[in-house]
Amino acid sequence: MADEATTALDVVVQAEVLELLARMRAEHDLALLLVSHDLAVIAEVCDRVLVAYAGELVEDGPAERVLNDPLHPYTEALLRVTTVGDWERRELEVIPGAPPEVGARLPGCRFADRCAFAAPECLSGPVPLRETADGRRVRCVRGEELDLSRAGAHGTREVAV
């Protein structure tokens, strides 16, 4: 497990650390659990991505699918406010609102107050983590109906995975 293993490193040292991790995985047939806020690193290193919001898993699937065709609005928002890939950067975007307080008990989706796509059913009760037809998992009542690949101001997203 590598928790923020490349945070605060310059790009040269970061590349060396990522190469070392990749070499160790290959030589020793290891799995690597990489915890990071850096989606560029995630896109480069990971086969599978799990996205958490407020302590709860909201999306899980193959890295290429999650990073290029997100199902959860929080995943889309993360991608919109980062510099993964060759996206044309405009002014810095932020996710409006604030996350819930630690330990807060919410009746529905923890992201609903910040979500541009929230519907009444998002607040009516617990939102289960559901498996989709393509084998991904998402905790969103509207996850499969939304086209989040075009939802943000960034346009078409192509992340090298």
- What pLDDT, on the 0 to 100 scale, is given for residue 61? 96
Structure tokens at 145: 């109906």
Percent of the chain residues topping a pLDDT of 70: 86
Looking at residue 158, its pLDDT comes to 44
Report residue 83's pLDDT band, with 50, 70 and 90 as the boundaries: low
Beta strands in the chain (DSSP E): 2-3, 34-35, 48-53, 56-62, 130-131, 137-138
